[in-house]
C-alpha cells in the first residue's frame, strides 16, 4: 500500500511540475510583445528548472520545479521611434520570446503531462487487481 | 500455516508482485523526471534470474521458500546512458512500454495468486 501511494505521489508531482511549466509557457506567449513590466524593462522569457526529489535514503519522490529563471539571451531590438517605450535612438526592446519555440515546449510539456496521467491510471489498475486477491 | 511455509509457488508469486510493484514506482519516477536534465533512469536489478536461481536450488521445499522470501529486488541507477541532448536519461516511449509491461505482469501474478488461493479453498471445502 505504501508503495502504491508513493507511486501516486510521484506521478502527481510530475503532473504538477509539468502544469507549472505549461503555465510559464502560457505566460511567455501571452507576453510575447510586452515592453513594460512592474520590474521595469521588457518582459523576459521565463524558464522552468526541473529537479528530482529524493528522500533521505535516495529513494525517488518525484519531480518539482526548483526554480523559475529569466532567459538572459538578447532581447529583440526593433526600430520604432513612434513607440512610447522607444529608447533615445528610436529602438524598442521586445521580449526574447520565440512563439514557435514556446509551442514546441508546450507540446513537450503536455506530452509529459499525459504520460504522468497514464502512470496514475496504471497504478490505480494494479491496486484494484491487488485488492481483488482478497475476493479470491 | 504449515502448508504455506512449503508453498514455493505462493512465495514466488508474492515476491514477483513485490518486485513489479517496486519497478512500477521506479518507472513512475522516471516518467515524472522526463524533462529533468542530468536525470538517470532507475530500474530494478535482474530479479527474474535471481528468482529462477533460488527456485532451482537443491534443498527441501521449506528451505526454498525461505530462499525465495529472502530475495529483495534492488533499485539500480542507469550508468551514463544519456538519451537526450540536454543530458536527460529518460526515453518516454520506452518508459511507457515498460509501464505497460509491469502492469501486465502484475495482473498476471495477481490472477495466478487468486487461482492458487482458489485451489486451497477447494481443498478446504473437500472439493466442493
Tell me whether A18 touches chain B (CB under 8 Å).
yes
Prediction pTM value: 0.86
CA distances from B89 to A105, B115, B126 (A): 18, 40, 55
The verdict on a CB contact (< 8 Å) between B107 and A115 is no
Least CA distance to A57: which residue of chain B?
B75
Tell me whether A118 touches chain B (CB under 8 Å).
yes
The verdict on a CB contact (< 8 Å) between B31 and A119 is yes
> What's the pLDDT at B64?
86
Round to whole Å and give the CA distance between A70 and A68.
7
Question: Which of A10, A52, A109 has its CB closest to that of B25?
Answer: A10
Residue for grid cell 509529459: A112
Residue for grid cell 494494479: A126
> What's the pLDDT at A42?
93
HEC profile for chain A?
CHHHHHHHHHHHHHHHHHHHHHHHHHHHHHCCCCCCCCCCCCCCCEEEEEEEEECCCCCEEEEEEEEEEECCCCCEEEECCCCCCCCCCCEEEECCCCHHHHHHHHHHHHHHHHHHHHHHHHHHHHHHHHHHHHHC
What is the complex's ipTM, to 2 decimals?
0.85
Tell me whether B50 touches chain A (CB under 8 Å).
no
Tens digit of pLDDT at every position of chain A (136 positions) = 777 889 999 999 999 999 999 999 999 999 999 999 998 889 999 999 999 999 998 888 999 999 999 999 999 999 999 999 999 999 999 999 999 999 999 999 999 999 999 999 999 988 888 888 887 6
Residue for grid cell 535514503: A57
Q: Could you say which residues of chain B have pLDDT below 50?
A: none
CB contact set of A32 (below 8 Å; sequence gap of 6+): A95, A97, A99, A102
> What's the pLDDT at A47?
94
Q: Using one digit for the tens of pLDDT, what is the confidence trace for B11-32?
A: 999 999 999 999 999 999 999 9
Chain A residues within 8 A of B39 when measuring between CB atoms: 52
DSSP SS3 for B36: coil
The verdict on a CB contact (< 8 Å) between B113 and A7 is no
The residue ranges of every structural domain in chain A are: 2-135
Amino acid at each position: 500500500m505504501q508503495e502504491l501511494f508513493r507511486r501516486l505521489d510521484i506521478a502527481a508531482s510530475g503532473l504538477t511540475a509539468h502544469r507549472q511549466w505549461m503555465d510559464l509557457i502560457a505566460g511567455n506567449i501571452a507576453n510575447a510583445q510586452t515592453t513594460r513590466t512592474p520590474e521595469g524593462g521588457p518582459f523576459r522569457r521565463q524558464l522552468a528548472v526541473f529537479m528530482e526529489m529524493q528522500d533521505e535514503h535516495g529513494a525517488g519522490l518525484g519531480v518539482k520545479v526548483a526554480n523559475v529563471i529569466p532567459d538572459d539571451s538578447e532581447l529583440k531590438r526593433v526600430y520604432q521611434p513612434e513607440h512610447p517605450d522607444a529608447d533615445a535612438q528610436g529602438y524598442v526592446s521586445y521580449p526574447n520570446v520565440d512563439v514557435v519555440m514556446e509551442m514546441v515546449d508546450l507540446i513537450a510539456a503536455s506530452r509529459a503531462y499525459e504520460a504522468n496521467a497514464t502512470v496514475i491510471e496504471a497504478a490505480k489498475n494494479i491496486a484494484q487487481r491487488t485488492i481483488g486477491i482478497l475476493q479470491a | 500455516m504449515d502448508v504455506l511455509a512449503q508453498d514455493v509457488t505462493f512465495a514466488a508469486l508474492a515476491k514477483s508482485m513485490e518486485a513489479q510493484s517496486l519497478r512500477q514506482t521506479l518507472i513512475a519516477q522516471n516518467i515524472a523526471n522526463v524533462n529533468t536534465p542530468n536525470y538517470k533512469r532507475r530500474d530494478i536489478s535482474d530479479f527474474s534470474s535471481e528468482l529462477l536461481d533460488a527456485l532451482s536450488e537443491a534443498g527441501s521445499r521449506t528451505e526454498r521458500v525461505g530462499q525465495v522470501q529472502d530475495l529483495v529486488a534492488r533499485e539500480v541507477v542507469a550508468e551514463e546512458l544519456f538519451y537526450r541532448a540536454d543530458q536527460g536519461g529518460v526515453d518516454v516511449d520506452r518508459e511507457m512500454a515498460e509501464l505497460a509491461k509491469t502492469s501486465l505482469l502484475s495482473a498476471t501474478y495477481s490472477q495466478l495468486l487468486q487461482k492458487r488461493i482458489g485451489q486451497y479453498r477447494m481443498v478446504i471445502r473437500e472439493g466442493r
